[in-house]
Amino acid sequence: MITMLLALTATSASAWAATVVNKDDSAYVLVVTEGGSRMEIAVEAGMTETICPAGCFVTLPSGDRIALTGGETIEIESGTASVK
């Protein structure tokens, strides 16, 4: 029972961080600004990355800048990124 609860908390709590899903065949680079520093994060083709547990700014491959509070999922599909 307890392990189940823990598993539940773990799977659900990860929803607080933002997730990037790359559904394309090529890798993309996102610029993530978090905790006062900019860093580039590469998302390999078909991979899922977890970024910014506590809010951040992201520059998408298209050049658009968006802010995330955490809990969002960014999907990159055929070159365009959308926030869910």
| 12, 25, 40, 78: which one binds another protein (CB under 8 A) | 12
Q: List Cα–Cα distances, 84 to 19, 20, 51, 62, 70, in angstroms.
A: 10, 10, 15, 17, 11
Shortest separation between residue 73's beta carbon and another protein, angstroms: 11
If one counts every other C-beta atom within 10 angstroms of the C-beta of residue 21, the result is: 16
Amino acid at 56: C
Q: Is 73 in the site for another protein (CB under 8 A)?
A: no
What the block records as the tokens of 29 is 């680079």
Tell me the per-residue interface mask from 27 to 56 with another protein, x by CB under 8 A, - otherwise: ------x-xxxx-----------x--xxxx
Q: Which stretch binds another protein (CB under 8 A): 1-9, 20-28, 40-48?
A: 1-9
> N- to C-terminal Cα distance for the chain?
32
- Contact footprint for another protein (CB under 8 A): 4, 7-17, 33, 35-38, 50, 53-57, 63-70, 80, 82-83
